[in-house]
Amino acid sequence: MRNNQANKENQFVESLNKSPEATQLQVVKALYGKTTQANVRALHKLQSRVRSKLLNQLYFLDHSDPRLLVSRRYELECLDLLHKVSILYAEREYKLSERLLQRCLRLAEAGEFTQYVVMCARMLRNLHAERQQTTLYKKAAKVFQRAQQVLAWEDEAEQLHTETQLALSGTVATRRAVLAVLPDRIAQLDALHRRARSFTTYNIVYRARLAYEELQGNYQEMIRVTALASRRLRAGKLNDRRFDIRFNHFVSVYAYLRSRQPVQGLRLAEEYNRDFHPSSHNWFYFQEHYVLLALHAQQYERAQQLMSIIAKNPAYSIQRDTALQRWDLYRSYVDFVMPPARNTTARQRQLAQWVLMLPEYSRDKRGHNVAILVLQLLHFLRERNLEAVMQRLERLRKYQQRHLYEANTLRSRLFLRLLPIIVEKNFDADRIAERGKALLQQLRDTQPPGEAFAEVEIIPYEHLWELVLDLLREGPPVPNEAP
């Protein structure tokens, strides 16, 4: 019976690996031959058994890889010891319980895991009270009281931080409101850190300051702050069991991208890439900026190589739909500047069609609407389709009027003011270049806005303008022939 169960479990896992999109009834038919109610119930029991066995395997995961979150291995050590102690304590095995609790307390203090310091100190205090060890009881009680106070300050800081993060994930108007109150909030967090002097409060202040500089578009300050944190870590002034160097790498690379220093940023991305494990969800976020740096540095072949590596990651297809659509948009830009071989795949044709059918404005693609419309325009310039080019130019004009009227959208507005010159100078590339000189220089002199207000430039507007002129030099758009 057990062998039969094991075989069914193996078949179930294999069927899910082969067909992850299969419906329940399809799985029932594949495993049992018929889709009866009894077989559906059998599948539910089978799922439960397999799920339990898979959950048991979590205990054997290796968390020692340095490319994973560094604090995880130390935190799990504490949890493992606390789990063992809770069983031993219930069995009244006090001596071994005390020894393991002291060990767990040392680990928790070394890792600055205040919540586990509180748990260990409370259990030790209770254990010593039960054994009538007055001196040890008072010592444990003192540790408990101090840790509990630090934990209260950390909880207060975390609540402020969480409320800030929730507001930052909202609308542009909400993010602007947060920008106005962030200095006071950072001062509150700093005061809590001066009391607690813990890694948790330091990390919250550190991230809040980075968020504030990001919202303002002060990317040079972000580069300075992340570089300082790296130096402090190397000097042993930050807890190396807790500080997430991957986050620091990510922010640094992002700041180089946004501050228009793509060559330096790309060099750092090449170096930092080894610190991100491909199975980590952070890996995709880092790769996104890695690709954008390659595109901004006009290293289009490198961007193409990266897109190929990213698409081969087993977790690529299970990302959220919005993430997959961003990757599709990046791929469309890469394919445009680095056209694939003549025999395009069905996927590439599907991508091209997807881009052309996107609406002129979509809230779920906030920050990418200009990029979508411009890519459509580039496509029809290459196709030399006059009617479609004129239609896209009109859509861009309407989009500018409706959505790009604030001071912080100046770069997008300047670029969109360049595009009508195409028609004004009758698609003559040399005359267009001459007429657009002043606007182009103004565009070059305009810094990108803060993240709260940003339209993402997949390829910088200056480079897109060069691409437009190159396309026109190949030949102007022409009317469609009458049938």
Residue 272 in domain: no
pLDDT, one tens digit per residue, over 284-338 is 999 999 999 999 999 999 999 999 999 999 999 888 888 898 998 999 999 889 8
Q: Tell me: do 37 and 90 sit in the same domain.
A: no
| pLDDT > 50? residue 361 | no
Residue 22 in domain: yes
Q: Tell me: do 100 and 145 sit in the same domain.
A: yes
| pLDDT > 80? residue 63 | no
Q: Tell me: do 51 and 79 sit in the same domain.
A: no
pLDDT bin (cut points 50, 70, 90) of residue 343 is very low
Q: Tell me: do 54 and 186 sit in the same domain.
A: no
For the chain, the domain total comes to 3
State the chain's mean pLDDT as an integer: 88
Q: Tell me: do 388 and 449 sit in the same domain.
A: yes
Domain boundary among 194, 216, 238: 216
Check if the beta carbon of residue 374 is closer than 8 Å to that of residue 471.
no
Question: How far apart are alpha carbons 306 and 323 in whole angstroms?
Answer: 16
Lowest mean pLDDT among 7-11, 129-133, 406-410: 406-410
Q: Tell me: do 89 and 118 sit in the same domain.
A: yes
pLDDT, one tens digit per residue, over 20-53 is 778 888 888 888 888 888 888 888 888 888 888 8
Q: Which amino acid is at 119?
A: M
Q: How many CB atoms lie within 10 A of CB 140?
A: 24
Q: Identify the burial level of 333 via C-beta atoms within 10 angstroms of its C-beta, where 0-12 means exposed, 13-18 middle and 19 or more buried.
A: buried
Residues 467-471, mean pLDDT to the nearest whole number: 95
Q: Tell me: do 30 and 145 sit in the same domain.
A: no
Domain boundary among 199, 216, 233: 216
Q: Tell me: do 380 and 461 sit in the same domain.
A: yes
Q: How many CB atoms lie within 10 A of CB 51?
A: 10
Q: pLDDT value at position 7?
A: 83
Question: In Å, how far are 155, 347, 363 from 183, measured between CA atoms?
Answer: 20, 48, 29
Question: How far apart are alpha carbons 213 and 399 in whole angstroms?
Answer: 29
pLDDT, one tens digit per residue, over 448-467 is 876 645 678 999 999 999 99
Q: Tell me: do 81 and 212 sit in the same domain.
A: yes
Domain boundary among 182, 198, 216: 216
Give me the domain span that covers residue 39.
Answer: 2-60
Q: pLDDT value at position 482?
A: 46
pTM (two decimals): 0.81
Q: pLDDT value at position 483?
A: 45
Q: Tell me: do 97 and 205 sit in the same domain.
A: yes
| pLDDT > 70? residue 94 | yes
Residue 294 in domain: no
* CA end-to-end span of the chain: 73
Residues 403-425, mean pLDDT to the nearest whole number: 89
Question: How far apart are alpha carbons 412 and 400 in whole angstroms?
Answer: 8
Q: pLDDT value at position 180?
A: 87
Question: How far apart are alpha carbons 81 and 87 in whole angstroms?
Answer: 10
CATH number of the domain encompassing residue 91 = 1.25.40
Q: pLDDT value at position 318?
A: 86
Quickly list H helices, 197-280.
199-216, 219-234, 245-258, 262-272
Partners of 385 in beta bridges: 478
Q: pLDDT value at position 468?
A: 95
Question: How far apart are alpha carbons 352 and 346 in whole angstroms?
Answer: 10
Place of tokens 């990317």: 219
Residue 114 in domain: yes
Q: Tell me: do 81 and 51 sit in the same domain.
A: no
Q: Tell me: do 92 and 209 sit in the same domain.
A: yes
